[in-house]
Amino acid sequence: MSAAPAIGSVALVPEHEYEPVRGLPGRLPPGERILWQGSPSWRSLAQRLLLVRWVAAYFGGLALWGVLTPSAPFGTAITLALGTVGVGLLCLFAWAVSRTTVYTLTNRRIVLRFGVALSKCVNLPLRTIGTAAINPGPEGTADIALTLTEPLKLGYLQVWPHARPMRMRAPVPVLRCVPDGATVGALLTRALLDAVPGGRRIDPALEADTGPVRDTVPAFAHAAAA
């Protein structure tokens, strides 16, 4: 059995039903085992990534303005209809992303399987992850950003929405809106510490953002021991 694919290697998975192992492009090599699997929370995706509350508030404000302007009742109705459709489409997209995404953590790598139209699997060996940072979200979810020591062989748009915003030239993969983020973060920390012979040290001072600046928080990280 061949070893795990190199960093950023991509496998096309046309139908999820034909995956030999859920979320993976092939069977695990000898000695590799799954530590955790999960998918994004679609509600958290809708709120944090697609900003549905802000969109709803915007159209609600327009509708309220229309109510205060009695001469435009038809426009108010159109505004409410457009707002409802817009929020509904955003929620539908968030649900589709959640439905088609599987994050897998093994003792050797992280695999991101995603894609609403065309599914892809991206392999990230643990030895190539320079730092990992957790950004807590609502209801116990979290975004986990993975800074790589080698360039990712994918463009930003090919990875989105599983990428850190504004890093167009060097995409930073992100596990988006992971349920029970604290537990997953602890599992990932342990796996990263075990991935390099001789161990690694924890750097609690690191900060990294996986979203807007307002979401930046202290995070866990690891670095090779000196």
Q: What is the pLDDT of residues 112-122, one digit of tens each?
A: 999 887 888 89
The pTM assigned to this predicted structure is: 0.77
**Residue-by-residue DSSP string for 148-181:** ESS--SS-HHHHTTSB-TT--SS--BEEEEETTH
Sorted by where each begins, the domain ranges of the chain are 10-40+101-224, 43-97
pLDDT of residue 223: 34
SS3 of 104, please? strand
Of residues 104 and 226, the one with the higher pLDDT is 104
pLDDT of residue 90: 94
Query: What CATH class is the domain 10-40+101-224?
Result: mainly beta
pLDDT of residue 106: 94
User: What is the C-alpha separation between 53 and 99, in angstroms, rounded?
Assistant: 21
User: What is the C-alpha separation between 217 and 207, in angstroms, rounded?
Assistant: 6
Per-residue confidence band for 21, with pLDDT thresholds at 50, 70 and 90: confident
Give 145-176 pLDDT, tens digit per residue: 998 888 787 888 888 899 888 777 888 999 99
User: What is the C-alpha separation between 226 and 61, in angstroms, rounded?
Assistant: 56
- Kindly state the average pLDDT of the residues 80-101: 92
Ranges 103-107, 139-143, 149-153: which has the least confidence = 149-153
Give 159-218 pLDDT, tens digit per residue: 889 988 877 788 899 999 999 988 998 899 888 888 765 544 444 433 344 443 233 333
- Total H helices, total E strands in the chain: 5, 12
User: What is the C-alpha separation between 176 and 115, in angstroms, rounded?
Assistant: 13
Per-residue confidence band for 130, with pLDDT thresholds at 50, 70 and 90: confident
